[in-house]
Amino acid sequence: MRVGIGGVFQETNTYVTEWTGAGSVDRFVVTAHRDMIDAYQGSLTEIGGALAAASDLGVQAIPLTFAIATPGPTVSAGAYAELSGRLLGDIAASGPLDALVLVLHGAGVAQDIDSLELDLLRRVRATVGPAVPIVATLDLHSTLPSAAADLADLLLPYHHYPHTDMAERGREAMERAVNLAAERRTPITAIVHVPLIVTAGATAPGEPMAELLEACQRIEEAEGVIDASIQHGFPFSDVEEAGVHVGVSVDPAGPADAQALAAELAALVWERRDALVKNAVGAEEAVAEAIALARTAGTGRPVILSDSSDNPGGGAPGDGTHILRALMAANVSSALIAALTDGAAVAQAHAAGAGAMIDIDLGGRMGPLQGGPVACRAMVKAVTDGRWVATTPMGRGASYDMGPTALLGVDGIDLIVCTEPTQVFDPAVLAIHGVTATQYDIVVLKSSTHFRAGFEAVAGAIVTADAPGVTSLDLSAYPRQATARPPYPLDDHADWSPYDVAPVHHG
C-alpha cells in the first residue's frame, strides 16, 4: 500500500498583514521527497508520527512536498500558488496512491482565499479523485470551515494545548488512512460551528478546557466513534467562520449518531463559554505581580511571565518592549527575556563580539503597538547561529532556526535577541546561549501557552501579561468584517443553540 504525505502549513494573523505585507514563499521551510524523511523521521511531529506508523504497518510512505512557516501575515497569492502547485504536482507525479495524509494547520489565509486549507483540499480532492481516502491532521487552533467535511474523509485536530500530541495524531492519521483504504468505508462526520472566540484554551488539568477534552474522550469511548474533537479556532484572524468547530466522526456501520454527539459536545462548549475567555493585566501590573511572587517562589523556581500579547506563535513580531520597559522601571536585577526580535541589534552584537559593550536601540520597530525602541548600553554575553533542536514532547527532535542571535545583558536583565520571530516554548533556546531558566528570578517568555511544555515544571509561579500587541487578549481590539455577526464575547449570541443549527455532514 502506498500512502502519500505532504501539506502546506501556516497560521495566519490577518491583523499583522497591514504592517508586514503579505507573506512570501521565503517565509516557508520546504522539504520534499527524501529530504522530508531526513528532516522529520524520529521527531515528535505529525510527519514523524506518520512515518513511524507506516513503518510499523509495513506500508510505503510516499513523501511529497511539505511547506511550513511560522505564524504570520496573510500568504501572498504567488507564494500559495507556488507551494500548492508543488504539492499537487508531486501528487500527480507520484503514481497511484492508496491514501493520502495531509499535514495542515487549519487557520491559513491567502490573498483572496479565506481558507488556504479548504482551497487546498478542494484541489487535492480534484487531483486524486473521490475514491482515495484523505486524512488530515490539524492544529488545535484551526478555523477550517465546516465545508472541509465534504472533502476530507477524516479530520484529526490535536487534542492538547500545548500541542504535545502532534506525533500521536500523525500516527493515528496514517493508521486511519490505511484502514480506510483497506475497508473502503467512509466515516460519517458532523461538524458544528460554535460562535465563540476561545482565549483560555490550555488543556492541562484544572484548566477550563480540560473538562471539555475529557468530554471528547468520553465520547470517543462509545461504540463506533472514531474521533471527537474541538477546534479552538484562532482569535487573531478575521475569517467567515471565526470561532470554534466541534467535530465527531463515526463508523457508518456503527450505532453512534454523529449529529447528536456533535450537538451535545457543542452545547457543553457553549455552556462553558465565559470560562474560555481569558483576561490579564497590563505590563506594569504583571511585572509587579511577578516581583511579589518571586520573593516567595524559592531558589531555582523562577516566576514565568507570559508576554501573551507579543507572541510570535500567534503571528506577532516579537519585538515588543512593554515588558522590558516595566522591568527596567522596577529596577529588576535578575530577569531574562526570551526572545526579542531585532535583527539589526543581533548584527551589531555579532560585529562587536562576546564580551563587548555596545550602545543599542532595542526592539519596538515593527508596528505602532510594539512600544518603540529602548535605548540602552548592553554587554554582549554570547552570540549564536540560532539553531536548536526541540527537547520536549512538543516536537522533540525537530530542528528550528531563529537566525543569528545574541544574549545581551542590560543592568541585570538578560535578553535573548533573535533575527526571526520565535515563540520560546523549549529550554533549548536558553541552553544554546549558556543559560537556564532556574538561574533567574523572573523569566519573560514571548509565548501564550506553549511555554508550559518546557517551563511549567520549573516555574515557581506563572503570570500572564497583556500589554498592547497584535495577539492581545483584548478581543475588542480586533475589527471583524468577514463575519456577518461577530462571535462571543464580541456579541452575546444569547439566542444561539447547537440544536438549532444543522451540522455539516460528510460520509
Domain of 246 in residue numbering reads as 187-279+474-507
Give the per-residue pLDDT at 92.
96
Shared-domain flag, residues 269 and 295:
no
Report the distance separating Cα 335 and Cα 467, nearest Å. 18
- For residue 400, count other CB atoms closer than 10 A to its CB: 18
State how far Cα 180 lies from the chain centre.
28
In sequence order, which residues have a C-beta less than 8 Å from that of residue 228 and are 6 or more positions away? Answer: 215, 216, 217, 219, 220, 247, 248, 249, 261, 265
Report the distance separating Cα 65 and Cα 35, nearest Å. 9
Give the per-residue pLDDT at 507.
60
Q: How many CA atoms lie within 13 A of 420 on its CB side?
A: 18
Shared-domain flag, residues 480 and 389:
no
Q: Nearest to residue 238, comparing CAs of 460, 74, 424?
A: 74
Shared-domain flag, residues 448 and 498:
no
- For the record, the C-alpha cell of 64 comes out as 511529497
Give the per-residue pLDDT at 485.
87
Which residue ranges in the chain fall short of pLDDT 50?
none
State how far Cα 319 lies from the chain centre.
19
Contacts 24+ apart (CB under 8 A), 260-264: 261/190, 261/219, 261/222, 261/225, 261/228, 262/190, 262/191, 262/192, 262/498, 262/503, 263/190, 263/192, 263/498, 263/499, 263/501, 263/503, 264/219
**What CATH number corresponds to the domain at position 28?**
3.40.50.2300
Q: Do residues 99 and 135 make contact, with C-beta atoms less than 8 angstroms apart?
A: yes
How is 99-155 classified by DSSP, letter by letter? Answer: EEEEE--S---BTTBS-HHHHHHHHHHHHH-TTS-EEEEE-TT----GGGGGT-SEE
Number of domains forming the structure of the chain: 3
Q: Do residues 315 and 328 make contact, with C-beta atoms less than 8 angstroms apart?
A: no
Residue carrying the nine cell digits 506594569: 284
Shared-domain flag, residues 52 and 91:
yes
pLDDT in tens, 32-88: 999 999 999 999 999 999 999 999 999 999 999 999 999 999 999 999 999 999 999
pLDDT in tens, 333-385: 999 999 999 999 999 999 999 999 999 999 999 989 999 999 999 999 999 99
Shared-domain flag, residues 295 and 199:
no
- Please count the residues of the chain: 507
Shared-domain flag, residues 315 and 217:
no
Shared-domain flag, residues 300 and 332:
yes
State how far Cα 174 lies from the chain centre.
21
Shared-domain flag, residues 230 and 89:
no
- For the record, the C-alpha cell of 307 comes out as 508576554
Q: Specify the 3-state DSSP secondary structure of 444.
A: strand
Give the per-residue pLDDT at 19.
85
Report the distance separating Cα 424 and Cα 450, nearest Å. 8
Give the per-residue pLDDT at 241.
93
Give the per-residue pLDDT at 421.
96
Residue carrying the nine cell digits 503514481: 95
Shared-domain flag, residues 174 and 287:
no
Report the distance separating Cα 347 and Cα 351, nearest Å. 6
Shared-domain flag, residues 18 and 119:
yes
Shared-domain flag, residues 389 and 275:
no
Q: Specify the 3-state DSSP secondary structure of 63.
A: strand
Give the per-residue pLDDT at 500.
79
Shared-domain flag, residues 351 and 455:
yes
Please identify, among 120, 152, 186, the residue that sits at the C-terminal boundary of a domain: 186
Dihedral sign computed on CA atoms, order 367, 286, 339, 158: negative
